[in-house]
Amino acid sequence: MQWSALLAGLGLVLSLTPAQAMISCQPVKPGEKFVSPIVNPGKISPIDGTCWVNKLTLTAFDDAKLTANVFLPRITRVDQRFPAIIMVNSWALADFEYLGQAARLARDGYVVYSYSTRGFWQSEGQVEVAGPQDIRDVSSALDWLQAHAPVDMKNVGISGISYGSGISLIALAQEPRLKTAAALSTWGNLEDELYGADTANQTWSDLLVNSGKLFGRLNPIVPAYAAALKEPRTPKSKIDEIRVWARIRSPLQYVPMLNARQAPVFISKNFQDDLFTPNSSLEMFRRLTGPKKLLVNQGIHAVTEVPGALLGADNYIYDQAHRWFDYWLKGEPNGIVDEPKVTMEVKFSRARDSFDDYPASNVLDHTYYLHPRGAVRWDLSCWCWKGGVGELASTANQQTADDWIDNAADTTATSGPIPIFSTLAESANIPIVNWLPSVHRGQGVRYEGPWLRDALRLRGIPKLTLKLKPSQPQAQLVAYLYDVDGLGFGKLITHGVRTVVDARPGAVLDFPIEFSATAYDVPAGHRVAVVLDTRDSLYAHPSDGYLDKRLVFNGHTQSTLILPSIR
């Protein structure tokens, strides 16, 4: 009894069983300078009672040693137990990533355990890309918490940004000791993110592979698969092999398991995330039947979350995630589950719209029909030249014509003149602007809608359906959706892409293109336009040779643009 009292007085906590000792912290000695738990690890803060312990080792199931740290809340009794959150690092980062947010959570009564996933920084093993070994490591982290920290094991959550978010969702589906997850900048279907619409995201793929090599030890299969996806001559059997590999690393595949246990899921996504586009996460959210919450924000991959994670800065996303954990792990009746399930931040605005679910009941599809530009010609009906631009109309097309373009050069349409940085600038309200008449007719085609009488409030995933006749087995179309003013200047709303590498030359293909999800208000007096061209610096191109293609129009099959909008 005297020993327990002494330990409590010193700020030490030991297990009451013969098991290993729990994590210990020391009080600040008289006259000892204390700055913060981060500056003074292992010391109990005289300000808020929290303590940070670093340089921990998590021994995984295969004896791999992973680096870790833990934040402890104020402890006043030996038998005290707290809810806990496991935080899993982003790609190429380490367990220090969440120090700011972990400190905030600890002040609010949580044990926060962060570890570096295998293969990154000083953690042993190889980077397995959210594979089965990574999921087993989460179980090892839970074992560690149970043995070494004052944790209420009935109230443990998990969270991560990017790489850590996917691991969190898959682990939640498989590990019954986890109660809920908050997945930020996550992915739903890794197949879609690596090779969506049969297109390799060259820019982000190169960034991931190179940063992985710099800060970790990649399983050799990772750069090999990335290279194979960028190579148009890669055989279908290899592509199928990569799809299988990606499928088991896709949280979307584990939705039935999440639904079976009705696990609460919090998801945050960013609209300009060209690495993990919002679309597959929206589909995952749609399929979830348990308690769920979705935030969709403006910003590129992970950029909106990192200040809150590392610095503990005020952050809308983390504030909501904190409320989510408070409800599910602490039982606080804060109303978060009674609020609308979905919020979307409008592009170039700080306004947020709330929705009952996704898809939302008040968002309906607005359909435009594409009419061909056709050949350059003098039209006596209007006493004007035609053939420079196609039309987006409310009535079905009845013309028979082909719109022809080739890949001899790029056009002025782009997802961003400087990949990643241009999209990042959109978060600072700097739009990607193009003067649409500058799109060269030989390599691009544009279709423009009528001037809007009322604002068009886009919310969701725009979709194009096209008929394409390629001259070669390879073809790629990039579609750009613009908000166009009276002078012809267009702000990029969103874009999409599709590639084919095994087409039959001269055959007409169904060629759907799904744009990346958006929330954007096209003002009255402007109009919507679509530009199609054959390449974008963000994506791997299917051929270095000359390719031409025809967009086929007739009155029997319609090419359409579907815009989900608030009515």
Q: What pLDDT, in 10s, does the model give residues 240-287?
A: 999 999 999 999 999 999 999 999 999 999 999 999 999 999 999 999
pLDDT tens column, 13-69: 333 332 345 788 999 999 999 999 999 999 999 999 999 999 999 999 999 999 999
pLDDT of residue 6: 32
pLDDT tens column, 467-501: 999 999 999 999 999 999 999 999 999 999 999 99
pLDDT tens column, 278-329: 999 999 999 999 999 999 999 999 999 999 999 999 999 999 999 999 999 9
Report how far apart, in Å, the C-alpha atoms of 405 and of each of 310, 445, 531, 550 are: 48, 7, 12, 6
Q: Where are the domains of the chain?
A: 2-193+252-339, 363-566
Which of 155, 76, 67 minimizes the C-alpha distance to 111? 155
pLDDT tens column, 386-400: 667 999 999 999 999
pLDDT tens column, 95-104: 999 999 999 9
Query: With helix as H, strand as E and coil as C, how does 454-495 read?
Result: CCEEEEECCEEEEEEEECCCCEEEEEEEEEECCCCEEEEEEE
User: What's the CA gap between 429 and 349, in Å, rounded?
Assistant: 8
User: What's the CA gap between 486 and 451, in Å, rounded?
Assistant: 9
Which of 311, 248, 299 minimizes the C-alpha distance to 98? 311
Confidence band (pLDDT; 50, 70, 90) for 547? confident
Whether the predicted pLDDT of 168 surpasses 90: yes
pLDDT of residue 380: 63
pLDDT of residue 10: 38
Query: Are residues 223 and 206 in contact, defined by beta-carbon separation less than 8 angstroms?
Result: no
| Mean pLDDT confidence for 342-362 | 96
Confidence band (pLDDT; 50, 70, 90) for 384? low
Instruction: Fold for 2-193+252-339, please state it.
Output: Rossmann fold (3.40.50)
pLDDT of residue 14: 33
C-alpha 502, offset from chain centre: 29
Whether the predicted pLDDT of 522 surpasses 90: yes
User: What's the CA gap between 259 and 198, in Å, rounded?
Assistant: 30
Whether the predicted pLDDT of 451 surpasses 60: yes
Q: Please, is 433 exposed, middle or buried when counting C-beta atoms within 10 Å of its C-beta (0-12, 13-18, 19+)?
A: exposed
pTM for this entry: 0.94
Whether the predicted pLDDT of 172 surpasses 70: yes
Average pLDDT along the chain: 94
Whether the predicted pLDDT of 4 surpasses 80: no
Domain covering 363-566: architecture: Sandwich (2.60)
Confidence band (pLDDT; 50, 70, 90) for 7? very low
Please determine whether the domains at 2-193+252-339 and 363-566 fall in the same fold group of CATH. no
pLDDT of residue 494: 99
For 94, the token pair is: 């380490």
Q: What percentage of the chain carries pLDDT values higher than 90?
A: 91
pLDDT of residue 9: 40
